[in-house]
Structure 1
Amino acid sequence: MTPADLSLTVLHAVRRAVDEGALRVEVPPRVKVERPRAGGVGDYASSVALGLARPAGLDARAVAAILRERLDPHPGIRAVEITGPGFLNFTLDEQDDTRVVRRVLAEGLRYGYSTALSGTRPRLRPAAEPRAGLVTDTVLRLLRAQGADARLDPDGELIPVLPVPCETYETYEAIGDDAARWALLRPAAHHLALAPAPLLVQHERNPLFRVRYAHARAHRLVANGAQLGVTPRYEQPVDAPRLLTLLGDHPDVLLSAARLRAPDRVARHLESVADALLAFQHTVLPLGDEKPSAAHRSRLALAEAAGTVLAGGLSLLGISAPDQI
């Protein structure tokens, strides 16, 4: 169960409670889930009960209890707990990792695409300034990946972007399309673009290099695994919680980036995936006299899934993901 799936599950619980008369409130359009804050437990938490308490005329913990009755048990959710003034805390089924990895490998570069915004028709205003035009084009791509009928319209929404002085654009053009796109899309739209020169250095201090290198490493691991007779197949849990969490979060990141018109969220997420994969890569294949096992096949499947997420995310930003660096 991804965060997006969990959000829909909680929303369905609210709707069910309203339909059954347990809550008398207007069903919200969506429910936010996030990592637990201090004092929370489990994998994810939601403050939905706090938001519904006043219109329902109930204490927030009472609302949370009503929702917990409709969430526990539920496929993919091992436990639901109430903490603090009424936060719902979710511990997911351990087998959820298996579903995430298999889903990534099954959906490929389209993992994270959804129909969450189907029925919406965002209209974005064309931008003459190059950076603004690039951000607008990328946001259109993100919106369409979530099912929106997104198009350019002279009277549409304007995405405010901090412009780059015209005289410096020649410098960005000189570093190539991939590096230029990263320099202009990685910072939030209201922040300065990144300096171009460091993005050409093949070093771990260069975040674009790390992301593309991590993708190339995943590709090489699969190739090396084939030579050793190790086929990627997720058969048993892998001790890589950070990487697994990031892969599970990917659909929610893409959806929030589309809703908030914020491609930088995708870029930051890819950096995190890359760093987690690079830290994990050394454990993937057999070492020395080790014989290939289910553990190696599962680790290789996880590495391949991480490489797939990196390639898909870069594609949405219009940046290439080479197999070799």
Structure 2
Amino acid sequence: MTPADLTRTVVRAVRCAVEDGELPAHAAVPARVVVERTRPGGVGEYATPVAFQVAKAAGRPPGEVARVLAGRLVAEAGIARVEVTGAGFLNFVLEERSSVDAVRDALRLVGAFPAVCAAPSPAAGELRAVVVGRAVGRILASQGIPGGEPLANIAPVARRDGDVVARFGEDAAVWAMLCVPAHETPSFRDTLLVQDESSEFFRVRYAHACAVGLVRNARLLGFGPRLMPAPYGDCAGVLRVLADHPLVLDAAAHHRAPERLVRHLVELADALLDFQYRVLPKGDEKPSAAHRARLALAEAAGTVLAGGLALLGMNAPDCL
């Protein structure tokens, strides 16, 4: 079960609990629920406050609603354990998914919703509103959600920053405008122009270029990526972030928050940059099934980085 599947499963559990009389008939069944990574001190991998969402209309304490839902959800395929914590938070331990499934799911999501980069409006006063609005529109489209009402309360680029596109370049300016919530004024610093790993903007694009380079160099060594259940070694970090990609896009769409996707891309880039040194054979080592599998994982991460940048309205160069 993917995190995105979990959100739909929780909604279905609420609906069935109402239909079967375990919850009052007047209890509101949410159209969607928020499922997020468990915070430090929590239980399992994911958690949701849906019981609080349902409890008010149901006229029941959140803890009671949570226990009703936990009894249903623990029987669902893909869920190993459900625990109720605090006043009514549902915490999930999912059954282990194969690395192959995680990679396939991430690639399927990227491939299903190709995004087209659009240049920002030249009108300085409207520049940020256009950049944020287009990014949100692309993210919504990737989830099959209509655009709806335009966003309100978007802080503009400060006058003191001047022509940020001319100063930093289009992609770097867009990055700065999207890496903070829309209601916050973006910050434009000279670090946007830094071409080393101290810059998050550079790291994300560099990580994509590294993924492309790994595939290219592997071909020179006579092998290519192959998606298979081979031993991936110590690549849990990349797999975990890839598995979260559908959930991040869902949350970014729900909250109209492209900065969530920005943070996710930084996390994936950092995991990939740490992992890259384990992908290709070293010295006289011959390419093995593990090398092919790791290469497939690196290629998938690079593809997700490119797809994420495109959704935000930026390019993913093959080399830097």
Same fold (TM over 0.5): yes
Query: Shorter-chain-normalised TM-score: which range?
Result: 0.7 to 0.9
Question: 263-272 or 158-167: which moved more?
Answer: 158-167
1:95 maps to: 97
1:271 maps to: 266
Matched residue SS, 1:243: helix
2:15 maps to: 15
2:183 matched to 1:181? Answer: no
2:188 matched to 1:199? Answer: no
Q: What code does the residue aligned with 1:242 have? A: G
Please give the per-residue CA displacement for 1:183-202, whole angstroms capped at 9, x wherever unaligned. Answer: 22222223332325322221
| Residue in structure 2 matching 1:287, options 282, 286, 298 | 282
Distance in 2 between the 1:283 and 1:74 partners? 36
Residues 241 and 176 (structure 1), Cα distance of their counterparts in 2 relative to 1, 3 Å cut? same
2:144 matched to 1:147? Answer: yes
Matched residue SS, 2:28: coil
Question: What is the CA-CA distance between 1:272 and the residue it aligns to?
Answer: 1.1
Unaligned runs of 5+ in 2: 116-122
Unaligned runs of 5+ in 1: 114-125
Distance in 1 between the 2:21 and 2:142 partners? 36
Question: What is the CA-CA distance between 1:282 and the residue it aligns to?
Answer: 1.3
2:129 matched to 1:138? Answer: no
2:72 maps to: 70
Q: What code does the residue aligned with 2:282 have? A: L
2:51 maps to: 49
1:315 maps to: 310
Residues 50 and 164 (structure 1), Cα distance of their counterparts in 2 relative to 1, 3 Å cut? closer
Matched residue SS, 1:40: coil
Q: What code does the residue aligned with 2:309 have? A: L
Is the CA contact 1:132–1:163 (under 8 Å) kept in the aligned structure 2?
yes
Matched residue SS, 2:163: helix
Is the CA contact 2:225–2:294 (under 8 Å) kept in the aligned structure 1?
no
Residues 306 and 181 (structure 1), Cα distance of their counterparts in 2 relative to 1, 3 Å cut? same
Question: 168-177 or 218-227: which moved more?
Answer: 168-177
Distance in 1 between the 2:113 and 2:74 partners? 28
Question: 54-63 or 269-278: which moved more?
Answer: 54-63
Distance in 2 between the 1:96 and 1:107 partners? 17
1:255 maps to: 250
2:217 matched to 1:215? Answer: no
Residues 170 and 184 (structure 1), Cα distance of their counterparts in 2 relative to 1, 3 Å cut? same
Is the CA contact 2:100–2:227 (under 8 Å) kept in the aligned structure 1?
no
Please give the per-residue CA displacement for 1:5-36, whole angstroms capped at 9, x wherever unaligned. Answer: 11111111111111111211221222222222
Distance in 1 between the 2:196 and 2:162 partners? 24
Is the CA contact 1:112–1:254 (under 8 Å) kept in the aligned structure 2?
no
Q: What code does the residue aligned with 1:17 have? A: A
Distance in 2 between the 1:260 and 1:57 partners? 27
Matched residue SS, 2:73: coil
Question: What is the CA-CA distance between 1:251 and the residue it aligns to?
Answer: 2.1
Residues 111 and 5 (structure 1), Cα distance of their counterparts in 2 relative to 1, 3 Å cut? farther
Q: What code does the residue aligned with 2:269 have? A: A
Matched residue SS, 1:70: helix
2:120 maps to: none
Question: What is the CA-CA distance between 1:311 and the residue it aligns to?
Answer: 0.3
Matched residue SS, 1:104: helix
Residues 127 and 71 (structure 1), Cα distance of their counterparts in 2 relative to 1, 3 Å cut? farther
Distance in 2 between the 1:264 and 1:57 partners? 36
Distance in 2 between the 1:214 and 1:89 partners? 33
